């Protein structure tokens, strides 16, 4: 093995080491080779919590990129996300900071958004929402505990009393002790009232104990039921009639629903009007009979003549009766 | 008291040697073949043992971490544990210990025998400072080779851990997940701090071994004693310095 060969090996070895250091550096600090892939999105939050460079960006649980940079921008914190170029994020998708475990590993969770909404362009800002973290929840729980403590303390004060004032139980006790005779009397009265009720005395007692009222009520209910049944039968019949009328059956149905009947009625009305007009004008026999009084007068004259003839017949006998009638009439 | 004086004498001669060697740095380009030879000895020939050792250190780390973490469901963090441990601590430390055992002992033995057999004296007589041709090329070579050895040790250890985490039945961790957590928690700053440590360790080991070798007095028996002393002092210094360096680099 010559020195020259050894030198070449050392050179190769050294170059290999330098290359490895470079590759390690690029890989561990999310090197440029990875940075150039995908498009950036900006997500602004009030608080990035434990989020740091290199954390995952997940859509519906699937990794679609990583956090490229975290920075302060004015009054808020911004995370620059590097999203896989094959993934398109809907314009109304929302980013939240999720927690992958209890060890403080965070990631950005993006929901799917709505279908058909235009995707976000490179460099656009994605909508964000604040998610409650464990610290906030613990703080709120602590506040709640404080309030609960205060409330329980107040209840305790009410029950036990405060600053020498008697508590609720002491007051109740004193009240009962002072009014024990009245309470006793009230209870005795109450006892008497319930006894009377049990015996069926008084209106209320009868109401409770007398079975007649119950029977009468039952009978009334039975009558009501029968009446209802009859009413239902009547209604059914009426319904049947209405149905028949509606289908145009029977006189009423024909009258209401048959056009021909209507036209006939109209024609009858017109004829009636015509006849009454003629009657009014005195046309025709009946019109004349109604309007012309000459016939009446002639009939009256004829009847008078007939009367006289009958009187003459009575005088001359039946043999000449025909001649008398003929002579009287003509 | 005598021992204290001996220690102070050792420190003093080491510092003097370093200063003199630093004075000869401009002559380094003219010593390129010697430098290359030392690079070959320190770097290239140490690579196999460094690789084997790192592989198994990474494997054992993954195994132990898997065994401990599996009980509370945190086995996906094996990658981060192996990554950080190898990069920050075990990579540089194991390379330095191997260097002390393999290269340091050889340097001490070579220089001690040269000193005992008066070759060093002959060089001095010929007005060739031993720091120039014996110490400086070795120091330069170790400074160049240590980062290379360390980064290889780190990577081999990481892959060893990945293989074990994947193949051992009760861990069965996906390599992708292993490297994802490794990448998430291990930053290049961690690797760089490991490389800085390795440089310091390598420099200290070679300096100590050269100094002890060149200060050997007596016969062949002292050569063995010098080698033992060089390796023991190097190991102690590595561990002591490791603590302070870790603290300083945090």
Can you tell me the ipTM of this complex? Answer: 0.80
A305: domain range? 294-323
| Residue B19 belongs to some domain of the structure | no
Backbone torsions φ then ψ of A82, nearest 5 degrees: -105, 110
Q: What is the pLDDT of residue B61?
A: 92
DSSP state letters, chain B: -HHHHHHHHHHHHHHHHHHHHHHTGGGGGGGHHHHHHHHHHHTGGGHHHHHHHHHHHHHHHHHHHHHHHGGGT-GGGHHHHHHHHIIIIIHHHHHHHHIIIIIIHHHHHHHHHHHHTTHHHHHHHTT--HIIIIIHHHHHHHHHHHHHHHHHHHHHHHHHHHHHHHHSTTT---HHHHHHHHHHH--HHHHHHHHHHHHHHHHHHHHHHHHHHHT--SSHHHHHHHHHHHHHHHHHHHHHHHHHHHHHH-
Mean pLDDT taken over chain B: 92
| Residue A173 belongs to some domain of the structure | yes
Interchain pair B155, A20: CB under 8 A: yes
| Residue B186 belongs to some domain of the structure | yes
pLDDT tens track of chain A, all 330 residues?
A: 567 788 888 888 888 998 998 888 888 876 544 455 788 889 988 888 878 877 888 888 888 888 888 889 888 888 998 888 888 888 888 888 887 766 667 888 898 888 888 888 888 888 888 877 677 788 889 999 999 999 998 888 888 777 777 788 888 888 888 888 888 999 999 999 889 888 888 888 887 887 888 888 899 999 999 999 999 999 999 999 888 888 878 777 777 777 887 788 889 899 999 888 888 887 878 788 777 777 778 888 888 888 887 776 666 555 566 666 666 666
| Residue B18 belongs to some domain of the structure | no
Residue (of A108, A103, A102) closest to A61 by Cα position: A108
Q: Which helix (H) or strand (E) holds A121?
A: none
Q: Does residue B104 sit at the A interface (CB-CB below 8 Å)?
A: no
| Residue A143 belongs to some domain of the structure | no
Pair (A111, A178) in one structural domain: no
Enter the tokens of residue A185.
Answer: 């009397």
Below-70 pLDDT ranges, chain B: none
Pair (A73, A115) in one structural domain: yes
Pair (A111, A172) in one structural domain: no
Q: Does residue A53 sit at the B interface (CB-CB below 8 Å)?
A: no
Number of structural domains found in chain B: 1
Pair (A51, A118) in one structural domain: yes
Give the closest-approach CA distance of B163 to chain A in angstroms: 19
| Residue A57 belongs to some domain of the structure | yes
Q: Does residue B143 sit at the A interface (CB-CB below 8 Å)?
A: no
| Residue B7 belongs to some domain of the structure | no
Tens of pLDDT, residue by residue over B35-61, are 999 999 999 999 999 999 999 999 999
Neighboring chain B residues of A16 at a CB cutoff of 8 Å: 148, 152
| Residue A114 belongs to some domain of the structure | yes
Q: How far is CA B171 from the centre of its chain?
A: 32
| Residue A29 belongs to some domain of the structure | no
Enter the tokens of residue B131.
Answer: 């720091």
| Residue A311 belongs to some domain of the structure | yes
Q: Does residue A13 sit at the B interface (CB-CB below 8 Å)?
A: yes
Determine contact, residues B100/B51, Cβ cutoff 8 Å: no
Enter the tokens of residue A294.
Answer: 């000459």
| Residue B208 belongs to some domain of the structure | yes
CA angle B61, B147, B230 (to 5 degrees): 85
Number of structural domains found in chain A: 3
CA A278, A280, A282, A287 dihedral sign is positive
Q: Does residue B186 sit at the A interface (CB-CB below 8 Å)?
A: yes
Q: How far is CA A246 from the centre of its chain?
A: 36
B244: domain range? 31-249
Model pTM above 0.90: no
Q: What is the pLDDT of residue A280?
A: 83
CA-based nearest residue in chain A for residue B141: A10
Distance (Å, whole) CA A66 – CA B158? 23
| Residue A243 belongs to some domain of the structure | no
- Rg, Å, chain A Cα set: 59
Q: Which helix (H) or strand (E) holds A293?
A: none
Neighboring chain A residues of B33 at a CB cutoff of 8 Å: 3, 7
CA A114, A116, A121, A122 dihedral sign is positive
Last residue within a domain, chosen from A113, A132, A151: A132
Distance (Å, whole) CA B61 – CA B158? 10
Interchain pair A13, B154: CB under 8 A: no
Q: What is the pLDDT of residue A321?
A: 61
Q: Is A31 exposed, middle or buried (0-12, 13-18, 19+ CB in 10 A)?
A: middle
Q: What is the pLDDT of residue A314?
A: 62
Q: What is the pLDDT of residue A34?
A: 46
Distance (Å, whole) CA A190 – CA B39? 114
Name, in order, each residue with C-beta under 8 angstroms of A110's C-beta and a sequence gap of 6 or more. A57, A58, A59, A64, A89, A93, A94, A95, A126
| Residue B172 belongs to some domain of the structure | yes
Tens of pLDDT, residue by residue over B159-197, are 999 999 999 888 888 888 888 888 888 888 899 999 999
| Residue A299 belongs to some domain of the structure | yes
Residue (of A310, A305, A313) closest to A330 by Cα position: A305
Q: Which of residues 19-58 of B touch A (CB under 8 A)?
A: 33, 36-37, 39-40, 43-44, 47
Beta bridge partners of A125: A42
| Residue B43 belongs to some domain of the structure | yes
Backbone torsions φ then ψ of A161, nearest 5 degrees: 90, 160
Determine contact, residues B21/B206, Cβ cutoff 8 Å: no
């Amino acid at each position: 093995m010559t020195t020259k060969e050894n030198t070449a090996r050392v050179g190769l070895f050294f170059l290999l080491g330098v290359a490895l250091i470079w590759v390690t550096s690029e890989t561990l600090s999310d090197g440029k080779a990875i940075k150039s892939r995908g498009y950036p999105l900006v997500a602004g939050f009030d608080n990035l919590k434990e989020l740091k460079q290199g954390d995952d960006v997940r859509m519906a649980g699937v990794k679609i990129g990583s956090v490229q940079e975290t920075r302060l921008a004015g009054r808020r914190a911004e995370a620059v996300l590097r999203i896989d170029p094959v993934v398109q994020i809907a314009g109304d998708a929302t980013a939240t900071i999720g927690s992958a475990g209890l060890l403080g590993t965070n990631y950005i969770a993006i929901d799917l958004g709505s279908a058909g909404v235009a995707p976000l362009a490179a460099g656009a800002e994605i909508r964000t929402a604040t998610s409650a973290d464990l610290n906030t929840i613990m703080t709120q729980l602590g506040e709640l505990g404080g309030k609960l403590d205060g409330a329980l303390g107040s209840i305790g004060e009410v029950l036990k009393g405060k600053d020498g004032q008697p508590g609720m139980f002491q007051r109740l006790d004193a009240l009962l002790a002072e009014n024990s005779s009245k309470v006793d009397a009230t209870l005795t009265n109450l006892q008497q009232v319930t006894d009377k009720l049990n015996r069926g005395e008084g209106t209320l007692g009868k109401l409770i104990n007398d079975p007649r009222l119950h029977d009468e009520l039952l009978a009334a209910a039975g009558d009501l039921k029968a009446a209802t049944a009859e009413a239902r039968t009547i209604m059914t019949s009426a319904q049947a009639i209405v149905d028949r009328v509606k289908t145009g059956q029977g006189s009423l149905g024909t009258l209401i629903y048959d056009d021909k009947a209507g036209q006939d009625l109209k024609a009858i009305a017109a004829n009636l009007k015509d006849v009454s007009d003629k009657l009014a004008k005195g046309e025709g026999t009946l019109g004349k009979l109604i309007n012309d009084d000459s016939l009446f007068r002639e009939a009256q004259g004829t009847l008078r003549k007939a009367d006289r003839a009958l009187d003459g017949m009575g005088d001359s006998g039946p043999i000449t009766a025909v001649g008398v009638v003929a002579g009287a009439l003509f | 008291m005598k021992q204290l004086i001996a220690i102070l004498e050792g420190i003093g001669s080491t510092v003097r040697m370093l200063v003199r060697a630093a004075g000869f740095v401009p002559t380094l380009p003219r010593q390129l073949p010697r430098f290359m030879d030392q690079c070959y000895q320190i770097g290239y020939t140490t690579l196999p043992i460094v690789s084997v050792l790192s592989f198994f250190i990474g494997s054992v780390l993954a195994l132990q971490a898997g065994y401990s973490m599996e009980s509370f469901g945190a086995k996906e963090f094996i990658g981060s544990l192996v990554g950080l441990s190898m990069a920050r601590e075990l990579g540089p430390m194991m390379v330095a210990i191997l260097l002390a055992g393999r290269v340091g002992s050889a340097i001490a033995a070579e220089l001690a025998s040269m000193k005992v057999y008066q070759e060093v004296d002959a060089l001095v007589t010929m007005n060739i400072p031993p720091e120039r041709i014996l110490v400086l090329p070795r120091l330069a070579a170790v400074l160049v080779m240590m980062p290379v050895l360390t980064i290889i040790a780190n990577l081999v250890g990481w892959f060893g851990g990945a293989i074990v985490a994947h193949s051992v039945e009760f861990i069965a961790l996906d390599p992708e997940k292993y490297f994802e957590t490794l990448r998430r928690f291990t930053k290049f700053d961690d690797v760089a701090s490991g490389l800085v440590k390795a440089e310091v360790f390598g420099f200290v080991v070679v300096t100590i071994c050269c100094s002890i070798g060149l200060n050997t007095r007596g016969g062949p028996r002292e050569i063995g004693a010098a080698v033992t002393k060089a390796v023991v002092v190097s190991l102690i210094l590595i561990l002591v310095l490791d603590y302070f360096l870790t603290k300083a680099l945090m």
